[in-house]
Amino acid sequence: MPNVTILGATGSIGVNTLDVISQHQDRYKVFALTANSNVEVLAKQCIEWNPKYAVMADEASADQLEQRLRAQGVGTEVLAGLAGHEYVARHAETDYVMAAIVGAAGLLPTLAAARAGKRVLLANKEALVMSGRLFMDAIRDHHAELLPIDSEHNAIFQCMPADISKGLEKSGVKRILITASGGPFRTTPLHELSNMNPSQACAHPNWDMGRKISVDSATMMNKGLEVIEACWLFNTTPENIQVVLHPQSIIHSMVEYADGSVLAQLSNPDMRTPIAYALAWPERIEAGVEQLDLFEIARLDFERPDYQRFPCLKLAQEAMQSGGTATAILNAANEIAVQGFLDGHIRFTDIARIVETTLEQVSHHEASNLEIILTDDGAAREFSIHQIRELAA
Ligand code: NAD
Ligand code: MG
Q: Sheet containing 241-245: which strands, arranged edge to edge?
A: 241-245, 173-180, 251-257, 262-266
User: Any residues with CB less than 8 A from the CB of 315 and at least 6 apart, and which?
Assistant: 221, 224, 330, 352, 355, 356, 359
The topology (CATH level 3) of 323-392 is Rna Polymerase Sigma Factor; Chain: A (1.10.1740)
Choose one of 5, 12, 221, 334 to mutate for the ligand 1 pocket test, by most ligand atoms within 8 angstroms of C-beta: 12
Query: From the CA of 280, how far away is ligand 1's center (Å)?
Result: 22
Query: From the CA of 102, how far away is ligand 1's center (Å)?
Result: 3
Note whether 270 and 290 are within 8 A (CB): yes
User: Any residues with CB less than 8 A from the CB of 20 and at least 6 apart, and which?
Assistant: 272, 275, 276, 279, 285, 287, 288
- In this structure, the number of other CB atoms found within 10 A of the CB of residue 110 comes to 30
CATH of domain 3-148: 3.40.50.720
Ligand 1 atom closest to the Cα of residue 125 is 32
> What Rg do the C-alpha atoms of the chain give, in angstroms?
20
Domain ranges in the chain are 3-148, 156-297, 323-392
- What are the helix (H) ranges across the chain? 12-22, 39-49, 59-71, 81-90, 107-115, 125-141, 151-159, 198-201, 211-219, 221-233, 272-280, 294-297, 311-322, 326-342, 350-361, 370-392
Q: Which ligand is nearest to the CA of 151?
A: 2
**DSSP summary character for residue 121:** E
| The pLDDT value given to residue 223 | 98
| The pLDDT value given to residue 392 | 85
Q: What angle do CA 287, 290, 295 make, to 5 degrees?
A: 140
Q: Which ligand is nearest to the CA of 223?
A: 2
- Residue numbers of the chain with a pLDDT score lower than 70: none
Q: Is the dihedral of CA 255, 289, 181, 123 positive or negative?
A: negative
Query: From the CA of 181, how far away is ligand 2's center (Å)?
Result: 10
Query: From the CA of 331, how far away is ligand 1's center (Å)?
Result: 15
- In this structure, the number of other CB atoms found within 10 A of the CB of residue 163 comes to 7
Spatial separation of the C-alpha atoms in residues 133 and 128, rounded to whole Å: 8
> Who lines ligand 1 at CB under 6 A?
8-14, 35-36, 38, 57, 100-102, 105, 123-126, 150, 207, 209-210, 213, 271
Which protein residue's CA is at the shortest distance from atom 22 of ligand 1?
Answer: 36
Give pTM, 2 decimals: 0.98
Query: From the CA of 302, how far away is ligand 2's center (Å)?
Result: 17
Ligand 1 atom closest to the Cα of residue 55 is 20
Q: Is the dihedral of CA 15, 148, 186, 247 positive or negative?
A: negative
| The pLDDT value given to residue 207 | 87
| The pLDDT value given to residue 387 | 98
**Length of the chain (residues):** 393
Q: Which ligand is nearest to the CA of 204?
A: 1
Q: Sheet containing 77-80: which strands, arranged edge to edge?
A: 77-80, 53-56, 29-35, 3-7, 96-99, 119-122, 145-148
